[in-house]
Amino acid sequence: MRIWVKDKAKGALGLLLGCALLCASCGTGPEDIDVSHLELDFKIKRFEQALFQLSTDSVEHQIQELEKEYGEFFTFFAAGSINIGRRDNPSFSTSLMGFVKDAQINDVLSEVNTVFDNVDALEADLKDAFKHYMYYFPGQPVPQIVTYISGFNSSLMATDKALGVGLDMYLGESCKYYQMLTLPQYKIQNMVPEMIVSNCMRGWLTSEMVMDDEHSSLLEQMIYQGKVLYYLDHVIPNEEDRYKIGFTADQLLWCNRNEEEMWKHLVDEKLLYTTDFTKIIKYVGEAPFTVGFPDGSPGRTGWWLGWQIVKAFMENNEALSLAELMQMKDAEYILRNSKYKPNR
């Protein structure tokens, strides 16, 4: 019979003691990396502000100016985010102006302007994160960050040179629109400004490091997500873990308390090497909880376990760089050489 830990006070104390021991035994870590010497010209561009200044008097000329200024991002936004097609669509201008003049969208714009009236702090945090990215991945391009309003269709949008942030998807848990859209709480809890930096850094990496969801095993998906989370440990070293993975503090504590039992479940049920999507999705899909686990579990527990495995692997392979880890494809090799032993 498995014993899933439920004592929150005991779990929290154990976690705090573990953190204290870890800090006492460690030397330098990702948070000690100095990136102040790295030069980066970085500025957030507010596409939504330019878009909502369009007027019907000279719309064609203004659209040409937007295309010139925002390039491929403008094409992606129109076709992929607000679904009005490409520029050669005969009704393109009319459809775009319909979006710009829509009363509800303008109400959303007002809320966005209230929550994000000033993006200086966000810009500073993203600049620091991308400086860390440059440190670990020298020579790799840094995207232009562009904000936009998606009509609640997308939170991120990546092109070759730009990374778009749908600000209407980060208005905070109390946002009235999320309630009107009847979004579930497990999604709303992550629709907060504090998630933007981690989501941007994840989004830019995964736009290049694409996962083959159709043919991969559960272990491969766990290790993939574990690598992404380990990367976030390094490029946003001072960020709270809950924002890296999108869990509440209680959900993180639950995972720490039940790490061994979660791992035993996957091993005993012979799930690590399954390629059955209906089984895999239970452990890596976005959900309010993990099916088959007791109350208190978050969804995507496979991500969290993959994170622990990758951390163990890197602790046992200190000569490997972060860039080298990202290039590794053999999930079985990473598991075997991690010598992973889950904590109780």
pLDDT tens digit at each of 344 positions of the chain: 344 454 443 344 344 334 433 443 444 789 889 999 999 999 999 999 999 999 988 899 999 999 999 999 999 999 999 999 999 899 999 999 999 999 999 999 999 999 999 999 999 999 999 999 999 999 999 999 999 999 999 999 999 999 999 999 999 999 999 999 999 999 999 999 999 999 999 999 999 888 777 789 999 999 999 999 999 999 999 999 999 999 999 999 999 999 999 999 999 999 999 999 999 999 999 999 999 999 999 999 999 999 999 999 999 999 999 999 999 999 999 999 999 999 76
Residue 146 burial by Cβ neighbours in a 10 Å radius (0-12, 13-18, 19+)? buried
Q: Are strands 144-148 and 162-166 parallel, antiparallel or unpaired?
A: parallel
> What tokens appear for 11 in the block?
């779990």
C-alpha span between 242 and 298 (Å, rounded): 12
CB 201 within 8 A of CB 134: no
Partners of 46 in the beta sheet? 147
CB 211 within 8 A of CB 268: no
Q: Determine the pLDDT at residue 344.
A: 62
Question: In the Cβ-directed half-sphere of 124, how many Cα atoms lie within 13 Å?
Answer: 3
Average pLDDT over all residues of the chain: 91
Partners of 163 in the beta sheet? 145, 158
C-alpha span between 167 and 315 (Å, rounded): 37
Query: Which one, of 109, 98, 123, 112, lies nearest residue 44 by Cα?
Result: 123
Distances (CA, A) of 33 to 26, 134, 313: 14, 12, 21
Q: Determine the pLDDT at residue 293.
A: 95
Give residue-wise pLDDT tens across range 25-49: 444 789 889 999 999 999 999 999 9
> What tokens appear for 282 in the block?
């239970």
C-alpha span between 193 and 173 (Å, rounded): 10
C-alpha span between 341 and 230 (Å, rounded): 18
Q: Determine the pLDDT at residue 16.
A: 38
Q: Are strands 45-46 and 144-148 parallel, antiparallel or unpaired?
A: parallel
Residue 73 burial by Cβ neighbours in a 10 Å radius (0-12, 13-18, 19+)? buried
Residue 250 burial by Cβ neighbours in a 10 Å radius (0-12, 13-18, 19+)? middle
